[in-house]
């Protein structure tokens, strides 16, 4: 369950991950999504190596089909994750877009 407190607390973690460049290690396209994501499906979810032994799982956005591939270079950006919670706070999180 979302809450304004959790969304606020998570912003520090989100900020640390913005602007990292990396490479897609593996990917899928989610066609049967969780309830909060039904209006976004289908969407690619990618596992990205962002260097220094760190990896991140996130959605790929602003892509062409050819970018959904192992080895594609990407950069992490901040985006809205899903709908605002019942109190109206918008949850933001990390997504990746291809470097073209």
Partner 1 sequence: MKVYVSGAATTKFGELWGVSPRHLARQAVFGALKDADTSESRVEALFVGNMLSGMLGGQEHLGAFFAEELGFTVPAFKVEGACASGGLALHNAVNSLLSGQYETVAVLGIEKMTDHKPEDVATALMGAGSEEERGAGATFPGLYAILARVHMKEFGTTEQELAAVAVKNHYHATLNPNAQFRNLLTVEQVMRSSRIADPLKLLDCSPISDGASAVILSTKKKKGSIEVAASAVATDTLGLAQRKSLTEITATRVASQKAYGIAGVAAGDIDVAEVHDCFTIAEVLAMEDLTFFEKGEAAGAIVRGETTVGKKGKIVVNTSGGLKGCGHPVGATGIKQVVELVDQLRGVGGERQVPHAKIGLAHNVGGSGATAVIHILKG
Check residue 5 for interaction with partner 1 (CB under 8 A): no
38 binds partner 1 (CB under 8 A): yes
Please check whether residue 58 is in contact with residue 28, taking contact to mean a CB–CB distance below 8 angstroms: no
Closest distance between partner 1 and the C-beta of residue 7, in Å? 11
Cβ atoms within 10 Å of 100's Cβ, excluding its own: 11
Residue 80 to residues 56, 66, 70: CA-CA distances in angstroms? 17, 24, 25
Nearer to partner 1, 47 or 73 (CB): 47
Q: Which residues bind partner 1 (CB under 8 A)?
A: 10, 25-38, 40-41, 43, 45, 47, 55-59, 70, 81-82, 91, 93-95
């Amino acid at each position: 369950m979302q809450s304004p407190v959790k969304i606020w607390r998570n912003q520090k973690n989100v900020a640390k991950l913005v602007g990292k460049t990396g490479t897609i290690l593996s990917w899928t396209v989610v066609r049967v999504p969780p309830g909060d994501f039904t209006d976004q499906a289908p969407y690619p979810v990618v596992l990205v190596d962002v260097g220094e032994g760190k990896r991140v799982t996130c959605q790929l956005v602003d892509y062409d089909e050819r970018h959904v591939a192992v080895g594609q270079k990407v950069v992490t950006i901040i985006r809205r994750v899903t709908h605002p919670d019942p109190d109206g706070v918008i949850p933001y999180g990390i997504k990746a877009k291809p470097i073209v």
